[in-house]
Amino acid sequence: MVNPMRLYAVAEVKDQAEAVQQLLQTRGVVTELIEIEQLNARFLRQHPELALCVDHAGLWLSANGMKMQPDWMAEIPRLKRASLKSEMIARACQLGEQPHLIDATAGLGHDGLLMASLGAEVTLVERHPILFTLLEFAKQQAEQDAYLAPVMARMHLIFSDATDYLTQRIEQQAITDVVYLDPMFPQRDQHQQAAKKQAQVKKQMQLLHLLLPEDGQMDLGDQLLALARQMAKRVVVKRPRHAVFLNDETPDHQWQGDACRFDAYFQLSL
């Protein structure tokens, strides 16, 4: 039997924490609710195991003295600076045409948020129940912000395995404009061994690496590319600049940046 995940909550938001506990239960995640006095740096250092926390700022994932949530509010300055000309992702995904776009590897939703802010209708697909719940909280908070509310109207969350979701769309013969893929663990590529020598990734990714398994299609995305190419006019894959091609498939076009690139696959027949 799997041990329940700890869910820490300050007393003032215990009702909200109980609601989170019940929601996660419906998604197959068993938690042990523990009331605490204060969620601060000292508490996080003393409780380094992977856990969930609820306080006045919402729902958090914590481990190793750190806590994180998909903080879409903090992205507002970047969104205000972004434009269709300045963002490489906008050119790769043709956001100027306001496409219907499926982000099949949602992660923390930052790329999806940017693409929605630039005019795309974005469907974020996430299968991990905890990460999906964190995304839900981020969207609920963002909907209360005057600047982000119109962007949220163009963002839709789907709790599903991306392979299952794309397969279902193929069976329904439902074509979409763009499928966007950003596999979670590209450093496992054969040309990315040098990444092991680099400093640890930023804290958000450190915590995601603790939460998510580093094996299977969920991480490498090879099967997702094959499926996406059957039901999207354009598939765009975000990769580290020197990484191998996803599924060893040469793209039709590339946009190169300093740290990453975007590989695009065009399906003219669709």
Task: Please state the residue numbers annotated as binding site for S-adenosyl-L-methionine.
Answer: 126-127, 182
Rg (CA), the chain: 19
Residue 110: how many other CB atoms lie within 10 Å: 18
| Cα 205–Cα 224–Cα 270 angle in degrees, nearest 5 | 130
Nearest Cα residue to 182 out of 120, 102, 118: 102
Residue 215 DSSP symbol? -
- Taking each helix axis as running N to C, give the angle between helix 129-142 and helix 203-211, from 0 to 180 degrees, rounded to the nearest 10: 140
Cα separation, 206 vs 202, whole angstroms: 6
Annotated binding residues: 126-127, 182
Nearest Cα residue to 35 out of 5, 65, 64, 6: 6
Cα separation, 36 vs 8, whole angstroms: 6
Query: What is the per-residue DSSP string for 56-92?
Result: TTEEEEEETTEEE---SGGGHHHHHH--TTT-HHHHH
Residue 260: how many other CB atoms lie within 10 Å: 17
